[in-house]
Amino acid sequence: MTDGSGLQAGLKNRHLSMIAIGGVIGAGLFVGSSSGIATAGPGILLSYALVGTLVVLVMRMLGEMSAANPTSGSFSAHADRALGRWAGFSIGWLYWFFWVVVLAVEATAGAKILEGWIPAVPQWGWALIVMVVLTATNLVSVGSYGEFEFWFAGIKVVAIGAFIVVGALAVFGVLPGAHTDKAGIGNLTDHGGFLPNGPGAILTGVLLVVFSFMGSEIATLAAGESEDPQRAVTKSTNSIIWRIGVFYLGSILVVVCLLPWNDPSIKEQGSYVAALDSLGIAHAGQIMNFIVLTSVLSCLNSGLYTASRMAFSLGGRGDAPAAFARTTSRGVPMAAIIASVVFGFVAVFFNYAFPDTVFLFLVNSSGAVALFVWLVICASQLRMRRIIERESPEKLVVRMWLYPYLTWATIALIVFVLGYMLTDTKGESSGRTTVLLSLLVALAVVAVSVIKERVRGGQAVAAAGTDTDKVPVA
């Protein structure tokens, strides 16, 4: 490995635009929405709207800080400066942990689809192939990552756009040749009302959909490697409202209008596949599987990129091995990428060898990290706004609305969601289990950071004492 001059501006504006759009469309939207619909009925729209509002507010805060100081460490670097070394260290490593676990989850999901198409290759073989190909992509250059993500995200965007248009035409009965006997706006209220399971189901729905929004912040990490970081952050932050409105609320609205919320096919086939099947569209299942596979590959590609850039930033701040902060001549942090993918491979192995013990622990203990990250972004913005206003007010090109009141309201909402999760005790991956295990891992990481700071402080004091001893006494 040769020491390059650090990360390079290899991402074009079109890459950043598509990374920002694709970042909010995770595989969780296609795969996880069916359980949300089964739980809350048409009221799941309110769950998505609530979490979407939360994400818009958090991204606005992150946009304010990142436009003023674009960096590959994003919120971890901001927390480092605003709250202290312990905060940047802790949230950086927790975020890295979250994404390397996601690598294993997504690699397994993609392998299941590919094995269904070509069963001659075992599932673990497909998981290995997918991981190796995307690792190679990330190792070549940031431009190759951007190009892959541009096309992956493009397919997702076109697919959801087409789904919304076709679905809307069917709902209003103007789609030629489609079976629209089950479709109609009436599905929103005809089967037990808009909230068939009561208003409490909205909050239960929030728990089911909140994690499918993770990834919105990737554009702020990638901005540091773009041609015009400030413009890229500003644009992605300002456009998130319509992105969430169209891709999440728009597509879910179409699903619950095409089919009654309690139609058994939604849970059996998945919400989007069931909705297309209900229209009598040929090969709907395979079309949807291709789109889900694209989303999985996109998530894998971005997950590896994101984990490696966070590791790179931690290495540069002395909170990870120094090798993580070194880049090749092409501006690629090779050691950070390899370390991230190795942990991802280990997690894939645990998924096959110990799915109900070790891997279940990994998934549950990383589950609430999204909410912890958002909480730290809020706390950082409260202090960082004052720092920016004092030192360089001209850099406040993106401003959080109604500061500081809306920031405090967002913090209260996140704390409320975490508290509500503690009341959910159903199943091995219950809300309570997820919060408590995630909290356990978070406390362990914070403890490591505090010990590390004390050791560093002790070494600094010792070094200062040694220097004083060397000064000759007059």
Write out pLDDT tens, residues 114-143.
998 999 998 888 988 998 988 988 888 888
Question: Tokens 């279940």 appear where?
Answer: 360
Question: Which amino acid does the sequence have at 465?
Answer: G
Residue 1's pLDDT band, with cuts at 50, 70 and 90, is very low
Task: Quote the pLDDT of residue 207.
Answer: 80
For 422, other C-beta atoms within 10 Å of its C-beta total 15
3-class DSSP state for residue 278?
helix
For 145, other C-beta atoms within 10 Å of its C-beta total 27
Q: Is 69 exposed, middle or buried (0-12, 13-18, 19+ CB in 10 A)?
A: buried
Residue 24's pLDDT band, with cuts at 50, 70 and 90, is low
Task: Quote the pLDDT of residue 5.
Answer: 45
CA 319 to centroid of chain Cα atoms: 22
Task: Report the interhelical angle of 284-316 vs 123-140 (nearest 10°).
Answer: 50
Task: Quote the pLDDT of residue 20.
Answer: 73
Question: Tokens 């120094």 appear where?
Answer: 322
Global pTM exceeds 0.85: yes
Sign of CA dihedral 109, 114, 117, 122: negative
Could you give the dihedral angle defined by the CA atoms of residues 218, 223, 226 and 228, in that order, rounded to the nearest 10 degrees?
140
Per-residue pLDDT tens digits for 432-463: 888 899 999 999 999 999 998 888 777 767 76
Give the lowest-confidence range in 265-279, 313-327, 435-449: 265-279
CA 105 to centroid of chain Cα atoms: 13
Residue 244's pLDDT band, with cuts at 50, 70 and 90, is confident
Task: Quote the pLDDT of residue 229.
Answer: 78
Let me know: does 331 contact 139? Beta carbons within 8 Å: no
Take residue 53 and report the two structure tokens written for it: 């509002």
Task: Quote the pLDDT of residue 4.
Answer: 45
| Furthest-apart CA atoms within the chain: distance in Å | 99
Q: Provide DSSP, 187-215.
A: GGTTTT-SSTT-THHHHHHHHHHGGGGTT
Mean pLDDT of 405-409: 96
Q: What residues does 226 pair with on adjacent strands?
A: 11
Q: What residues does 11 pair with on adjacent strands?
A: 226
Q: Report the run of H or E that residue 178 belongs to, with start and end.
A: none
Take residue 473 and report the two structure tokens written for it: 């006494």
95-113 per-residue burial string, b: 16 or more CB within 10 A, e: under 16: bbbbbbbbbbbbbbbbbeb
Q: What is the mean pLDDT of the chain?
A: 86
DSSP structural state of residue 355: T
Task: Quote the pLDDT of residue 178.
Answer: 79
Per-residue pLDDT tens digits for 179-224: 888 888 999 999 999 999 888 888 888 888 887 787 778 877 777 7
> Residue 23 above 70 pLDDT?
no
Task: Quote the pLDDT of residue 469.
Answer: 59
Q: Provide DSSP, 77-138.
A: HHHHHHT-HHHHHHHHHHHHHHHHHHHHHHHHHHHHHHHHH-TTS-HHHHHHHHHHHHHHHH
Let me know: does 336 contact 143? Beta carbons within 8 Å: no
Residue 2's pLDDT band, with cuts at 50, 70 and 90, is very low
Residue 466's pLDDT band, with cuts at 50, 70 and 90, is low
- End-to-end alpha-carbon separation of the chain, Å? 50
